[in-house]
């Protein structure tokens, strides 16, 4: 078990956002969290990444509890988040964005190799490496946000709505990239509004409803489930 959440409760002031979330992610998997707006998907990711801390409950990564760690310490353990809405560093060049992704690493040669690998994966980033990131299109910014996260060489990649605001063709590409990254050995916990695409690429999924897990299972089962079909897949 790579990641395990056990009865995690998170609240924003008096408002409970997560009411006892328990889930697991095995090494090598793509696990997706789907659900409506406000169900607690992003809150779950932000709690794993250390941006938020649970009121109660435990988060274990490789067996060690991480729920009290700061975001930097979580990154140091091998978990990196691709934030919602991409959040590239607009005034910095594409290359600076990528190098910042490797901020905690001290193996210069390895960083250079990974930089080359990211450029190979996203040739458009290489073309635009001296351009400030704010001038990139939405799709390019998403590539950059993913590339930046990969530069930390994470064991577990947390992705928050990577398809948000992208054209259908780009959405296809992003999911293909997610599949490739996973195929190369990175475990992925994916939060998505686009349940249809997310369940296509994921191995397993959890359906969140108002801070609780309503349903869980293999992606294929969830896709077939009447409940999921009517609520999240357009009832088809």
Partner 1 sequence: MVRRYLRAGNLAVCALLVATFLAGQVAIASGWLNPYYQVQLFSMGINVILAVSLNLINGFTGQFSLGHAGFMAVGAYTAAVATTRWGLPFAAAVLLAAAASAVMGLLVGVPTLRLRGDYLAIATLGFGEILRSILYNVDYVGGATGLLGIPRLTTWPWLFALTVVTVLAVKNLVNSTRGLALKAVRDDEIAAEDAGVDTTRTKVLAFVLGAVFAGIGGALYAHYFFVIQPTTFSFLKSFEILVYVVLGGLGSITGSVVSATALTLLSAALQQLAALRMVLYGLVLVLLMIFRTGGLFGTWELSFEAIGQAWAWLFHRRPPAGDRAPLTAAASSPGSATLPDLPEVTRDGAPQDR
Q: Which residues bind partner 1 (CB under 8 A)?
A: 49, 51, 70-72, 75-76, 80-83, 87-93, 96, 99-101, 103-104, 122-124, 126-128, 130-132, 135-137, 139-140, 143, 145, 148-149, 152, 167, 169-170, 173
* Pairing, β 30-35 against β 156-160: unpaired
Q: Which is nearer to partner 1, 56 or 123 (CB)?
A: 123
The nearer residue to partner 1, 38 or 85, going by C-beta atoms, is: 85
Q: Give me the least distance between CB of 216 and partner 1, in Å please.
A: 26
Map residue 53 onto helix, strand or coil: coil
Nearer to partner 1, 166 or 199 (CB): 166
Sign of CA dihedral 89, 106, 115, 130: positive
Minimum CB distance to partner 1, residue 111 (Å): 10
- Secondary structure of 12-47 in HEC code, one letter for each residue: ECCEEEEEEEEEEECCCCEEEEEECCCCCHHHHHHH
Q: Which of residues 91 and 226 has its CB atom nearest to partner 1 in the complex?
A: 91
Q: How far is the CB of 229 from partner 1 (least distance, A)?
A: 31
Q: What region, left, alpha or beta, does residue 73 occupy, with left being phi > 0 and alpha being psi -120 to 50 degrees? A: alpha
CB of 150 to partner 1, least distance (A): 11
Work out the end-to-end distance of the chain between its first and last CA atoms, rounded to an integer number of angstroms: 35
* CA R_g for the chain: 17
Nearer Cβ to partner 1, position 11 or 131? 131
In whole angstroms, how close is the CB of 100 to partner 1 at the nearest point? 5
Which residue spans within the chain are E strands per DSSP? 3-12, 15-25, 30-35, 56-61, 64-65, 79-82, 156-160, 187-192, 204-209, 212-218
Question: What's the closest the beta carbon of residue 71 comes to partner 1, in angstroms?
Answer: 4
Measured from the CB atom, the residue of 132 and 210 that comes closer to partner 1 is 132
């Amino acid at each position: 078990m790579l990641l395990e959440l056990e009865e995690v409760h998170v609240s924003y002031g008096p408002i409970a956002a997560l009411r006892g979330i328990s889930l697991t992610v095995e090494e090598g998997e793509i696990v997706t969290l789907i659900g409506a707006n406000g169900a607690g998907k992003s809150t779950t990711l932000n709690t794993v990444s250390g941006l938020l801390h649970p009121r109660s409950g435990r988060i274990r990564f490789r067996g060690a509890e991480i729920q009290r760690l700061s975001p930097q310490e979580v990154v140091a353990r091998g978990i990196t988040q691709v934030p919602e809405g991409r959040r590239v560093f607009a005034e910095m060049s594409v290359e600076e964005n990528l190098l910042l992704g490797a901020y905690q690493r001290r193996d210069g040669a390895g960083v250079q190799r990974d930089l080359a690998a990211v450029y190979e994966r996203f040739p458009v980033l290489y073309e635009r490496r001296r351009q400030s990131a704010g001038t990139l299109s939405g799709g390019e910014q998403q590539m950059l946000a993913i590339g930046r996260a990969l530069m930390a060489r994470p064991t577990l990649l947390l992705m928050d709505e990577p398809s948000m605001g992208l054209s259908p063709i780009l959405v296809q590409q992003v999911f293909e990239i997610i599949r490739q990254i996973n195929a190369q050995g990175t475990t992925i916990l994916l939060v998505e509004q686009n349940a249809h695409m997310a369940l296509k690429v994921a191995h397993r999924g959890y359906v969140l409803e108002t801070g609780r897990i309503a349903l869980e299972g293999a992606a294929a089962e969830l896709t077939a489930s009447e409940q999921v079909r009517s609520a999240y897949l357009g009832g088809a």
